[in-house]
Amino acid sequence: MGPADALSALRDQAPLVHNITNYVAMNVAANVLLAAGASPAMLHAEEEVAEFVGLAGALTINIGTLSAPWLAGMKAAARTATDAEIPWILDPVAHFTTPYRHQATQDLLALSPSIIRGNASEILALAGWATQGKGADAGDDVIQAEAAARELASDQKAVIAVSGAVDFITDGARSVRVSGGSNLMPKVTALGCSLTGLMGAFAAVTSPLEACVAASVLFGAAGEIAQPKADGPGTFAVHFIDGLASIQPDDLAQEDRLTWL
Ligand SMILES: Nc1ncnc2c1ncn2[C@@H]1O[C@H](COP(=O)(O)OP(=O)(O)O)[C@@H](O)[C@H]1O
Ligand SMILES: Cc1ncsc1CCOP(=O)(O)O
Ligand SMILES: [Mg+2]
């Protein structure tokens, strides 16, 4: 299904989305999911995640503020999701910066995520390519990461979503560029993490590839609503949430942001 039908399904079903995300993103991502029409829950304790993920339509895992107890919870949740065929999305924030983060990401990759979402630097490094990235923010352009993303999709048998000025989404066979959004989006923290959460919400109602496309299109549209109303990154963030909530399925029917390759 296309982005318009995916948004209709999301609003009809309001799927419960289990997010194990970072301290920076927890509030932002929960508000993004609520505005879009999903039902977010942020919890990470190893003692309960396996039971909780069974209640959810999708799981998202983001390693932004990683620590040992959180990693144990992430692995338990990912294992349960894969066994139960619940789609799960990995956001490997800055995974190339320290050996600990690198190993955690490799361990999570082995648990078969349905979708991997990162910025261009994160995806380049995940495929083993050189990157100019230094931390959580991208140091490379999406176009430089397209071939790496295709390679990674085939190797991991997952959909790869690379975000940036123009997003790129591929399952290894089919690939699409999604244009739109605002250059204020990388100036608001945790919007990438929130996009990961939204991909989880859509993955609860449609296929991983269609879910990534729908989330990316919806983010682009909301960014364009917020841009002319904003005085800067602070007010942009508020208008972005309002924009997400105001967009109706018909607003996404044109699909003129998509370039299939
Ligand atoms: N220069 C830009 N112009 C328009 N949209 C952008 C731009 N940079 C990032 N975005 C959008 O911001 C969101 C977060 O992406 P990004 O900043 O790449 O993630 P991260 O926070 O993980 O680095 C995505 O929806 C992406 O399309
Ligand atoms: C700044 C920061 N530091 C650790 S996690 C995090 C949030 C990163 O969020 P995003 O990748 O969405 O910008
Ligand atoms: Mg990120």
**223 CA from centroid of ligand 3 (Å):** 17
Question: Which letter does DSSP use for residue 164 in this model?
Answer: S
Containing 34, the helix (H) or strand (E) segment is: helix 26-36
Please report which ligand is nearest the Cα atom of 65: 2
Q: Ligand 1, atom 25: nearest CA belongs to which residue? A: 219
pLDDT digits (tens, 9 = 90+) for 158-207: 999 999 999 999 999 999 999 999 999 999 999 999 999 999 999 999 99
Q: Is the beta carbon of 197 within 6 A of some atom in ligand 1?
A: no
Q: Is the beta carbon of 202 within 6 A of some atom in ligand 1?
A: no
Q: Which atom of ligand 2 is nearest to the CA of 91?
A: 11
pLDDT digits (tens, 9 = 90+) for 207-250: 999 999 999 999 999 999 999 999 999 999 999 999 999 999 99
CA distance 202 to 256: 20
Please report which ligand is nearest the Cα atom of 67: 2
pLDDT range class, residue 38, cuts 50, 70, 90 = very high
What was the pLDDT predicted at 212? Answer: 98
At residue 255, does pLDDT exceed 90?
Answer: no
At residue 12, does pLDDT exceed 90?
Answer: yes
What was the pLDDT predicted at 232? Answer: 98
Q: Which atom of ligand 1 is nearest to the CA of 189?
A: 21
In the structure encoding, which two tokens stand for residue 107, read together?
Answer: 């361990």
Q: Ligand 2, atom 11: nearest CA belongs to which residue? A: 192
Mutate to test the pocket of ligand 1, among 22, 143, 179, 185 (most ligand atoms within 8 A of CB): 185
ipTM of this predicted structure: 0.98
Give 27's Cβ-side CA count (13 Å radius). Answer: 6
Question: Which letter does DSSP use for residue 65 in this model?
Answer: T
**Mean per-residue pLDDT over the chain, rounded:** 98
Q: Is 87 within 8 Å of 114 (Cβ atoms)?
A: yes
pLDDT digits (tens, 9 = 90+) for 116-166: 999 999 999 999 999 999 999 999 999 999 999 999 999 999 999 999 999
CA distance 38 to 19: 12
SS3 content of the chain, % helix, strand, coil (to 5): 50, 15, 35
- Domains of the chain (ranges plus CATH)? 3-260 (3.40.1190.20)
Q: Is the beta carbon of 190 within 6 A of some atom in ligand 2?
A: yes
Containing 89, the helix (H) or strand (E) segment is: strand 88-91
Question: If you average pLDDT over residues 61-78, what whole number do you get?
Answer: 98
Residue 11 phi/psi, 5-degree rounding, is -70, -35
> What percent of the chain stands above pLDDT 90?
99
42 is in an annotated binding site: yes
**186 CA from centroid of ligand 1 (Å):** 5
